[in-house]
Amino acid sequence: MDAYEIAVIPGDGIGPEVVDAALPLVADAAEEAGFSFETTRFDWGTERYLDRGEMMPDDGLDRLSAFDSIFLGAVGHPEVPDHVTLHGLLLPIRKGFDQYVCKRPNVLFEGIESPLRGYGSGDIDFVVYRENTEGEYASVGGREHRGFDHETAVQSALFTRRGTERIVRAAFEAAAAREGHLTSVTKSNAQAHSMVFWDDVVEEVATEFPSVEVERLLVDAAAMDLIRRPHEFDVLVASNLFGDILTDVGAQITGSMGLAPSGNVHPDESSPSMFEPVHGSAPDIVGEGVANPLATVLSWSMLFEELGETRAADALWTGVTDQLADDDAPRTPDIGGTAGTDDVVADLRSRL
Ligand code: NAD
Ligand code: IPM
Ligand code: MN
């Protein structure tokens, strides 16, 4: 059988720490499940930018296009403005490969303490479908008259019918396959163009999914309700920015940024999808060897799932679940332990 070809971009900060720690483990999981993959490492990121003035080469996307999938660590560096680094590497990949479904599961695992009182194992289990190619991230706008009193900055959000329908439909499909509950998050009380349009699309697509119960929430209320009643959510669908914000809330109520995985999915095989932990480069802990590698491991599980390698995907997900449920297992400081990145991965390898 052919090996999969996977591009690995460790990136900045703790990105290389968690990516390199997890690679031998995920290779074990593949071997155990009877397949293999080759990785090609791309040392693209801010070190390259500081050296050569670019985050990735001009033909970066071309070079990635032949791969079955992409794994990314994190992007962001204290010495370079974030809009430069993110628009130089992460965002062009999501957009260039039309990875329009950003899938972000939030699960409260056994053994993890939620900051929310009374919430225990399994009480929180929802997935956010974040629109990933347009909306507030469309880069439509400009800045004029710098330094003058009448300086103006415009940043428009772009919502197309194609872009909105496809993420909404993907979320309905997910809800139909899960608990049948979809929450659409907007701000249509204030944003009467884009968000009322979004509401209309939700209403239209809903007719294709009579089994799915639809709830609408304004984003401010959604932020509150993720804290007040997270057990009631199943699938949430939101615009690019709202999905970004809500998934940090989701990560925190389920224990840590260090446990939150994500997939940037282009659903057919014409372009590769990209998987990455939700967290960033975490400059506050870089080099300490304590970054939690589990968001990375769970993101690899999502990558294998997307490739149809369910056995390896399940082995990784179950390995993490079992480890977290085990009081004696090593854990990193973000989830209450004292262990390092490598100890956590070594323990996981012994469980596979
Ligand atoms: P961050 O996710 O890097 O860190 C937020 C907090 O969570 C920090 O206290 C950090 O120590 C902690 N944390 C994150 N990941 C952790 C892990 N695996 N284990 C333990 N603790 C972890 O967010 P930030 O501080 O807002 O951003 C830092 C940089 O990362 C910025 O440059 C930002 O633009 C960038 N960023 C990149 C991505 C990405 O590449 N996808 C995502 C978010 C932020
Ligand atoms: C994320 C990050 C990125 C986003 C940033 C770094 C551009 O916060 O993946 O959640 O907003 O998508
Ligand atoms: Mn984010």
Q: What confidence tens digit (pLDDT) does each residue in 249-289 have?
A: 999 999 999 999 999 999 999 999 999 999 999 999 999 99
pLDDT of residue 311: 98
Determine whether the shortest distance from the Cβ of 296 to ligand 1 is under 6 A.
no
What is the model's pLDDT at position 135?
98
Please list all protein residues whose beta carbon sits less than 5 angstroms from ligand 3, which is an ion. Answer: 244
Query: Which of these, 304, 302, 298, lies nearest to 259 by C-alpha position?
Result: 298
Residue 91 CA to ligand 2 center (angstroms) comes to: 8
pLDDT at 147 > cutoff 90: yes
> What is the rounded average pLDDT for all residues in the chain?
98
- Give the C-alpha separation, 178 to 183, whole Å: 13
- The number of helices, as runs of H, and strands, as runs of E, in the chain is 12, 12
The pLDDT value recorded for residue 1 is 57
3-state secondary structure of 93: helix
Provide mean pLDDT across the span 297-325: 98
Contact 34, 112 (CB under 8 A): no
Place of tokens 């090609």: 40
Contacts (Cβ under 8 Å, ≥6 apart) of 332: 258, 290, 291, 292, 293, 339, 340, 341, 344
Average pLDDT (298-321) is 98
What average pLDDT score do residues 78-100 get?
Answer: 98
Mean pLDDT of 201-228: 98
Identify whether the C-beta of residue 181 lies closer than 8 Å to the C-beta of residue 235.
Answer: yes
Mean pLDDT score, 82-105: 98
Taking residues 183-212, what's their average pLDDT?
Answer: 98
Instruction: Give every CB contact of residue 3 below 8 A, 6+ residues apart in sequence.
Output: 35, 36, 37, 38
The answer on pLDDT for 53 being more than 80 is yes
User: Which of 187, 234, 334, 343 is an active site residue?
Assistant: 187
Percentage, residues of the chain above pLDDT 90: 99
Residue 9 bridge partners (DSSP): 72
pTM of the model: 0.98
Packed helices 294-306 and 310-325: angle between N→C axes, nearest 10 degrees = 160
What's the rounded mean pLDDT across residues 185-190? Answer: 98
Nearby residues of 84 by Cβ (< 8 Å), 6 or more positions away: 49, 55
> Ligand 1 centre and the CA of 43: distance in Å?
19
**Which is catalytic among the residues 248, 326, 342, 347?**
248
**241 C-alpha to ligand 3 centroid (Å):** 8
- ipTM reported for the complex, 2 dp: 0.99
Atom of ligand 1 nearest to the CA of 276: 41
- Ligand 2 neighbourhood includes 244 CB (under 6 angstroms): yes
Is 187 designated active site? yes
Domains and CATH numbers, the chain: 1-100+260-352 (3.40.718.10), 125-253 (3.40.718.10)
- CB-based contacts of 74, cutoff 8 Å, min separation 6: 11, 12, 13, 14, 15, 276, 277, 279, 280, 281, 282
Q: Is 162 exposed, middle or buried (0-12, 13-18, 19+ CB in 10 A)?
A: exposed
Q: How far apart are alpha carbons 219 and 83 in whole angstroms?
A: 24
Show the beta-strand stretches assigned E in 194-267.
213-218, 235-238, 261-265
